[in-house]
Amino acid sequence: MIKIVLLATALLLPSLSVAGEVRNVNFAAFQAVDKDFEFEPVVPGTFSDFISGMEGSKILAMVHTADAISGDVITMQTSVLRDDEGSLGDFGVDCQLSFKVDGEGDEAGYLLGGVCRIIQVGRGKNIRTSVIIPHANIPDTSQGFEGWIMLDEDEGSGIAFYANVSVEKH
């Protein structure tokens, strides 16, 4: 009976059977505020190094998933709605991203892609842009590279999207 319970548990909880590790997807959106600031395609280092490297921009939103598995759809939405002289203004970013795992174990690769909508309506602006982010490899901090990769940048709005995968040991 105990063997059946253990087998059923292993089949029902596959994410816990990988040596007590879970992978988390980290995704962030930044907007340049300094006219001379340029986003780097790769920002090496820890999380604090990454944030420090973004001086000249402001963070719009950040997502840290809990135990991402292949096929997950990750969403990030931040929006400010306000009355703008009698009409509704909307400023924000809305993303839906597909996470895929390619391979297994230490040889696994991680892909992230999807669509982000940038909306800046009101205060004299009327910007509605969709950024299509093709599936791209994102670094896994446990595989020897600590850092973040830029997935895409919308130069019109000055918004860039970055991601990586981090590991939690349980």
User: Strand, helix or coil at 51?
Assistant: helix
Task: Parse the chain into domains and list their residue ranges.
Answer: 23-169
Question: For 120-162, what is each residue's pLDDT tens digit?
Answer: 888 778 889 999 999 999 999 888 889 999 999 999 999 999 9
The residue written with tokens 């309506």 in the block is 121
Give the max Cα distance, the chain: 70
Amino acid in position 21: E
Question: For 31-81, what is each residue's pLDDT tens digit?
Answer: 999 999 999 999 999 999 999 999 999 999 999 998 999 999 999 999 888
Closest CA to 101 of 71, 76, 133: 71
DSSP per-residue letters across 84-107: ETTEEEEEEEEEEEEEEEESSGGG
Q: Which two tokens stand for residue 38?
A: 């340029």
